[in-house]
Amino acid sequence: MISEVAPWPRPAFRPTGRRATVSFIAFADENFVGSGLDFELRDAVPPGAPVDALDVRRHTDADSAAWIDGFRTGGLRNIASHQLGDLDRLDSASSCYSITISVEDPADLTYLQLAWAVASRIAAAGAVAVLDVHAVNWLAGSTVASLSPRRPFVIQREVSIVAETEATPGFGYVVHTRGLIKFGSPDLVAGVAADRIDHTGRILNHLAGMLADGHDLVRGQQLRFDAQRVLTVATYTPDAITPDLELNNEALLLVDV
């Protein structure tokens, strides 16, 4: 007898009124859904996962070529080249599936488990690659197909920590998250000196895990780390000094005191 898949919990959850949104794009050639892809997911998702919030659609080159290519050109292509290597199969894919779930104030992460389970089913059927849109993270189809539904939650698999390689005058080296919208949380942005890039990345990873657990950060809050560094939570507003990172999500700015 196969045991039920346990929900990924949010032990610190409290309502915020924000929506959590997950969006994956799975590139493929065949119409797996139309040819009978099994979406019977009882053994792959926890009981109570919000199946009614799931939206799976197929997009083809014939109908949506520009939209599809928008995910495999420009900056996203550069990231794909780094994370996937050979892009021949990605380029030749004639269609893709969008997997989207949006839920308000989720008290657990069953919606995220559901999205990954569907992506894994499509990948197992033959999808070439899967893009985690909000985290801007590419995974080979074989990697997604092999994901165990009983794996533990790991924040590093869900949220990207990005450190820019050149400083922004007046702001410093940008270190920021991508993907916290998946938990209904704002992304986090900091501008730091070169010798604080790594430490800031570790701080953002820690805070991302807290937000995934259901904690919230408020403007004006002060955070102390390693008994030597204090950060104040402020509003992130791109301007002449603060760079626009095109996060497609609300964000908070962390400022060294």
- List the beta strands (DSSP E) in the chain: 19-28, 54-60, 95-104, 129-132, 137-140, 160-163, 173-178, 187-192, 222-225, 229-235, 251-256
CA distances from 192 to 83, 240, 242 (A): 26, 17, 12
Each residue's pLDDT tens digit, 114-169: 999 999 999 998 999 999 999 999 999 999 999 999 999 999 999 999 999 999 99
pLDDT in tens, 21-33: 999 999 998 776 6
Residues in the chain: 257
* Contact yes or no for 159/211 (Cβ under 8 A): no
Query: Was domain 19-153 assigned CATH 3.30.70?
Result: yes
Query: Is the predicted pLDDT of residue 43 greater than 90, yes or no?
Result: no
**Interval 227-240: pLDDT, tens:** 889 999 999 999 99
Average pLDDT of the residues of the chain: 94
Where in the chain are all domains bearing CATH 3.30.70? 19-153
